[in-house]
Amino acid sequence: MNNLLNKIFFRYQNLDYINLGFKDIKKNTEVEQIFHAIHSFSKNSEIRYVGGCVRKIINKEKVDDIDLAVNLEPKKVCDALNKKNIKYYESGIEHGTITAIINNIKFEITSLRKDVDSDGRHAKVEFSDNWKEDASRRDFTINSIYADFEGSLFDPFDGKKDLENGKIKFIGDIEVRIKEDYLRVLRYIRFFLNYSKDKHDPKIINIIKKNLSGVSTISSERLLDEFQKLLKSEGFSKLAKDKDCLEIINLIFPQFKNISMFSRLNKFAKNNFSRVDLIFLLSLLVIDGTDNVDYFIYKFNLSKKDKKRLLFLNKFFSEKFTNNTFLEKNLNKIFYFNGKEALMDIIYFKIFQSSKKDDKLIKLIKVFKKKKIPVMPLKANILIEKYQVLEGKELGKKLKAIEEVWVSNNFNISEKEIQKIVSN
């Protein structure tokens, strides 16, 4: 009898923290407006939490995005939001997704769907009003859990149980699921490293390897977006120790030559890992003193700004340098000529590459964060008027020489130094 009471008490206690998780969302966002807009739209309209936010609440993780599922077609979702003056945009309306925005918080609202065709990149869908049918087309059991406004769960594939037991299970036929969207290969790795308490099922690994060629059909944007989710997750630190996951990542991203370095980061790098951006982390992965960066840029569609950052870092760390390179007076040149972001990239890169925390470099970060890029006090008109330097190539050369000395002297230059340069 006592055992039975203990089980009942544990079950209610377990569900209570889930209810509290959804109460926190209600407290910290305006999600109630979304629920009210849908529920008041018609007699049968219904909306529920789904996917990542439900999974994270069950697993006691921080919720950083809110996904919702609705049994209305996208046009009717728009009508329901319009009625309540809720702003939205059609982020993926062809696949049934509308993004509502309230107080700068985004809520992704997706109509219930069933897949009618897929080429591994894009799926043709039909909208549905059947919750079980929608759950059936999702990738893993842990992502097919729905919750109403109060946090009551609809869990047709026992995803909560799998999450608590650390089991990563595909819904339905594994190969069919992967062929519907090859990005699920990377998603499997992310969820396995973050949630699994078991060894890999050899059947899953064999099917993934068999279908790896399909990953090449995915756009570079989607691949990097999914890799970033893995990179920023707690499970990423386990990657180097997981033979199967590491092999798959190396096959998908052969350009990531330095991936093993992330298993031996120094204390500063570990503490600041979540604060650095994707392009910086990619630079750590691909810069290896060869033409690997050029190959990576060729294969992946990066912005001009991101390409410039990678190429600058690659050029800097491909050249020979000494400990004097990282003296403040030498770094001033990079700070002035290339900007603060380029300088910070270099210092952080050097720190992240080091096996031990480098206090001198960490101090330099603080120094340059406070600095503003100065403006050279001497202009062409001053050299012409005060120092009688003639206009033309000579003027440009002398200005350049003065600027070099000024930068090297921590943005100071004496009258004597100016006179010497002008008179030569």
Boundaries of domain holding 235: 173-253
Residues 235 and 287 in one domain: no
Residues 369 and 384 in one domain: no
Residues 343 and 386 in one domain: no
Q: What is the pLDDT of residue 385?
A: 87
Instruction: Name the domain boundary from 236, 253, 270.
Output: 253
Total tally of structural domains belonging to the chain: 4
Per-residue pLDDT of the chain (424 residues; tens, 9 = 90+): 445 434 433 344 456 889 999 999 999 999 999 999 999 999 999 999 999 999 999 999 999 899 999 999 999 999 999 999 999 998 777 788 999 999 999 999 999 998 765 555 555 678 989 999 999 999 999 999 999 999 999 999 999 999 999 999 999 999 999 999 999 999 999 999 999 999 999 999 999 999 999 999 999 999 999 999 999 999 999 999 999 999 999 999 999 999 989 988 999 999 999 899 999 999 999 999 899 999 999 999 899 999 999 999 999 999 888 878 999 988 999 999 999 999 999 999 999 999 899 999 999 999 999 999 999 888 899 888 888 888 888 899 999 999 999 998 889 999 999 999 888 8
Residues 179 and 269 in one domain: no
Q: What is the pLDDT of residue 2?
A: 47
Residues 78 and 161 in one domain: yes
Residues 42 and 164 in one domain: yes
Residues 369 and 273 in one domain: yes
Q: Could you write out the DSSP letters of every residue in 351-399?
A: HHHSSS--HHHHHHHHHHHH------S--HHHHHHHH-PPSSHHHHHHH
CATH number (domain holding residue 233): 1.10.110
CB 420 within 8 A of CB 383: no
Q: What is the pLDDT of residue 1?
A: 45
Residues 298 and 204 in one domain: no
Residues 13 and 92 in one domain: yes
Instruction: Name the domain boundary from 152, 170, 188.
Output: 170
Q: What is the pLDDT of residue 149?
A: 94
**In the structure encoding, which two tokens stand for residue 168, read together?**
């990563």
How confident is the model over 334-383, as pLDDT tens digits? 999 999 999 999 999 999 999 899 999 999 999 999 999 999 888 899 88
Residues 156 and 117 in one domain: yes
Instruction: Name the domain boundary from 170, 188, 221.
Output: 170
Angle between helices 304-318 and 340-353 (to 10 degrees): 50
Strands (E), 79-214: 87-92, 97-102, 105-111, 113-118, 123-127, 146-147, 153-154
CA neighbor of 187 nearest in space, from 171, 164, 203? 171
How confident is the model over 176-193, as pLDDT tens digits? 999 999 999 999 999 999
Residues 183 and 122 in one domain: no
Q: What is the pTM of this model?
A: 0.85
Q: What φ, ψ does residue 107 adopt, rounded to 5°?
A: -125, 115
Residues 146 and 189 in one domain: no
CATH number (domain holding residue 26): 3.30.460.10
Q: Are strands 66-70 and 105-111 parallel, antiparallel or unpaired?
A: parallel
Contacts 24+ apart (CB under 8 A), 75-84: 76/41, 76/42, 76/45, 77/38, 77/109, 77/111, 79/41, 80/37, 80/38, 80/40, 80/41, 80/45, 81/34, 81/37, 83/37, 83/40, 83/41, 84/33, 84/36, 84/37, 84/40
